Amino acid sequence: MSNKRNKDKKYPDGFRDNKEYPLDEEEAKDEIGKELYPKLKNKSLSDLSDDGILVFPIAHSKKKKNDDSDDMFKEWRKEPKIIETFLSDDIRYVRFGNIAGFVGLDDDRLTIRSRFSRGKDDYFLHYMLSKVLNLNINIVELDISHSFDNQIFQLLMFMFPESLNKALRKGIFKLYQRYKYNDMNIKGTIDIARHIKENTPFLGKVAYSTREFTKDNYLIHLIRHTIEHIRTSMLSGRAFLNSTEETRQNVRAIELATPSYSLGDRKKIITENKNSMVSHAYYSEYRVLQEICLMILELRKHDIKDKKKQMRGILFDVSWLWEEYVYTLLKEDDFEHPCNRNKIGGISVFSDSTRNLYPDFYSKDRKIVADAKYKPLDEDGRKHLELGDLSQLITYSYIMNLGKSDSAIIIHPGSKETDENRTWYHRIGNLNGFGATIYRFVLRIPQYRPNEKKGFEEFKCDIEKEESIFKKKLRKLL
Residue 444 counted as domain residue: yes
Q: Residues 437-457: pLDDT tens digits?
A: 998 888 989 888 777 788 888
Rounded Cα distance, 173 and 165, in Å: 13
- Residues 8 and 157 reside in one and the same domain: yes
- Residues 40 and 52 reside in one and the same domain: yes
- pLDDT category, 229, cuts 50, 70, 90? very high
Burial of 41 (0-12, 13-18, 19+ CB in 10 A): middle
b/e code 156-181 from CB counts within 10 Å (16+ = b):
bbbbbbbbbbbbbeeebbeeeeeeeb
Predicted TM-score (pTM) of this structure: 0.80
SS3 275: helix
Out of 283, 317, 351, pick the residue that ends a domain: 317
What is the model's pLDDT at position 6?
53
Question: Do 40 and 82 touch, CB atoms closer than 8 A?
Answer: yes
What is the model's pLDDT at position 59?
46
Out of 214, 240, 270, pick the residue that ends a domain: 214
What is the model's pLDDT at position 147?
58
- Residues 21 and 137 reside in one and the same domain: yes
Domain containing 117 equals 3-171+225-317
- Residues 204 and 249 reside in one and the same domain: no
- Residues 356 and 412 reside in one and the same domain: yes
Residue 140 counted as domain residue: yes
- Residues 159 and 184 reside in one and the same domain: no
- pLDDT category, 424, cuts 50, 70, 90? low
- Residues 269 and 150 reside in one and the same domain: yes
* Total domains in the fold of the chain: 3
* pLDDT, average across residues 404-424: 73
- Residues 245 and 306 reside in one and the same domain: yes
What is the model's pLDDT at position 252?
96
- Residues 291 and 233 reside in one and the same domain: yes
Question: Do 28 and 39 touch, CB atoms closer than 8 A?
Answer: no
Residue 86 counted as domain residue: yes
Question: Do 370 and 335 touch, CB atoms closer than 8 A?
Answer: yes
Q: Residues 24-50: pLDDT tens digits?
A: 899 999 999 888 898 888 887 777 765
Q: Residues 57-72: pLDDT tens digits?
A: 764 444 444 444 444 4
* pLDDT, average across residues 65-93: 67
Q: Which residues pair with 429 in a beta bridge?
A: 438
- Residues 360 and 419 reside in one and the same domain: yes
- Residues 471 and 340 reside in one and the same domain: yes
Residue 338 counted as domain residue: yes
- Residues 210 and 262 reside in one and the same domain: no
> Which residues fall within 8 angstroms of residue 462, CB to CB, at 6 or more apart?
446
* pLDDT, average across residues 273-284: 88
Rounded Cα distance, 54 and 313, in Å: 6
What is the model's pLDDT at position 303?
43
